[in-house]
Amino acid sequence: MSVLIIGAGIAGLTAARELTQLGYDVTVLDKGRGVGGRMATRRIDRARADHGAQYITAQTPEFQQCIETLRAANTTAIWQSEEAVNYVGTGGMSGIAKHLAQGLRIELNEKVVRVAAESTGWLVQTEAGNEYRANALLLTIPVPQALALLNDSDCRLEAADCIALDAISYEPCLTVLATVERSGLIPAPGFWQSPTPDVAWVVDNQQKGISPEQPSVTIHASSSFSRENLDGDLEAAGRQLLTQLQRRIPAETVGVVQVHRWRYSHAERQHPAPFLAASAPFPLLFGGDGFGADSLSDLRSGVERAFVSGRAMAAFIISRVDSARSVSVG
Ligand SMILES: Cc1cc2nc3c(=O)[nH]c(=O)nc-3n(C[C@H](O)[C@H](O)[C@H](O)COP(=O)(O)OP(=O)(O)OC[C@H]3O[C@@H](n4cnc5c(N)ncnc54)[C@H](O)[C@@H]3O)c2cc1C
């Protein structure tokens, strides 16, 4: 059974690992230059900054086990707050994804632009003009992007699937990354929640342990500020957020500044089940952090929800193959 997975975020990587380990012929396609999706880390001057997910929590035994393996490999460390045990990537969150990607067949810089059902399975075409074929297709990209892709491909879903997928929605998030003169501008352990109505989070990447060479901060705007400024002047929005934090992060301590727009950050309305298997001629699964409201309701546990979704999609494919085998044996 061959499987194509679109998206090398935590959901796609998790599904790919499970299936590859069992001998399935798996290819992962991602439009990015690296793996991880929203588990993203950037270099800014000599500093490092996580600009998507900041930390992970682990509620399910399966994810706890995954975290233990990552800790044993020195890829993940504890970032303790008063209330909770949080985990971070030792070299940034993207390091976790890089570790999980080891040994997988992943094609980067491959933006999927068309999906079509052929007589024996799926055909996927990329912007670069390459074609990939497989028996099963897993879409682990944010659902509005997946629906747009299918729409542009003239690939029609049944009404019930459309309704279920349309109900999933995401919050946007504007993110400012800035190098700063010194660490410790915000209190230990280096994260500061809701300091102003427009700022949801400020993180000190050096206190967090991922930017030893040069201090840097990551600022996530609140969802209302992000919505209002999503398609506006990003530089101006970034300046506005920094001005609001002047008292703690004085302008003269700020060096290089970058502003990033996440159109889809957290899944605010999720599908109840960990994935959706669409009615289609061949297996077509939708998954990622937009799924699994019934298993994990905490909005902030997007990484774990995506992991759970990835595992559930892999289990579905495996069960389909097993039942096809038992029918042919019987
Ligand atoms: C600012 C921010 C802060 C966050 N903070 C936290 C946090 O602290 N804790 C937490 O648990 N979660 C957090 N999250 C959410 C968390 O990052 C996500 O829930 C999780 O990473 C989603 O994983 P995924 O695999 O479902 O999707 P993604 O990581 O989005 O992966 C999808 C992949 O698909 C690729 N892709 C998209 N379209 C195409 C295409 N057409 N062709 C090929 N590839 C394509 C993308 O490049 C991407 O790599 C945060 C997110 C953001 C943005």
> Going from the N-terminus, what domains does the chain have, and what CATH number goes with each?
2-35+101-168+271-329 (3.50.50.60), 170-267 (3.90.660.10)
List helix spans (H) across the chain: 10-21, 61-72, 93-100, 143-152, 159-166, 223-229, 234-244, 302-329
Own/partner long-range contacts of 117-123 (Cβ < 8 Å, ≥24 apart): 117/155, 117/280, 117/281, 117/282, 121/2, 121/282, 122/4, 122/282, 122/284
pLDDT in tens, 111-147: 999 999 999 999 999 999 999 999 999 999 999 999 9
pLDDT of residue 184: 86
Q: How far apart are alpha carbons 207 and 204 in whole angstroms?
A: 5
The residue whose CA has the least distance to atom 4 of ligand 1 is 53
Cα 297 to ligand 1 centre (Å): 17
pLDDT of residue 321: 78
pLDDT of residue 328: 65
The residue whose CA has the least distance to atom 53 of ligand 1 is 265
Binding-site residues, ligand 1, Cβ < 6 A: 6-12, 29-32, 37-39, 52-56, 111-112, 140-142, 145, 149, 173, 175, 220, 262, 265-266, 288-289, 300-303, 306
The residue whose CA has the least distance to atom 50 of ligand 1 is 53
As given in the structure block, the two tokens for residue 330 are 């019987």
Amino acid found at 204: D
Collapse the DSSP code of 246 into the 3-class scheme (helix H, G, I; strand E, B; otherwise coil) and give the result: coil
Cα 267 to ligand 1 centre (Å): 10
Cα 264 to ligand 1 centre (Å): 8
Enter the DSSP assignment of 328. Answer: H
Q: How far apart are alpha carbons 211 and 52 in whole angstroms?
A: 15
The residue whose CA has the least distance to atom 41 of ligand 1 is 112
pLDDT of residue 116: 96
**Contact yes or no for 249/242 (Cβ under 8 A):** yes
- Residue 311 to residues 238, 248, 307, 314, Cα–Cα distance (Å): 37, 42, 6, 5
pLDDT of residue 297: 66
Cα 17 to ligand 1 centre (Å): 17
Query: Of 12, 52, 17, 53, whose CA–CA distance to 29 is shortest?
Result: 12
Helices (H) and strands (E) in the chain, counts: 8, 18
**Contact yes or no for 87/58 (Cβ under 8 A):** yes
The residue whose CA has the least distance to atom 14 of ligand 1 is 53
pLDDT of residue 246: 95
CA angle 88, 49, 265 (to 5 degrees): 75
pLDDT of residue 325: 73
Q: What are phi and psi of 62, to 5 degrees?
A: -65, -40
> What are the residue ranges in the chain where pLDDT is below 50?
none
Collapse the DSSP code of 79 into the 3-class scheme (helix H, G, I; strand E, B; otherwise coil) and give the result: strand
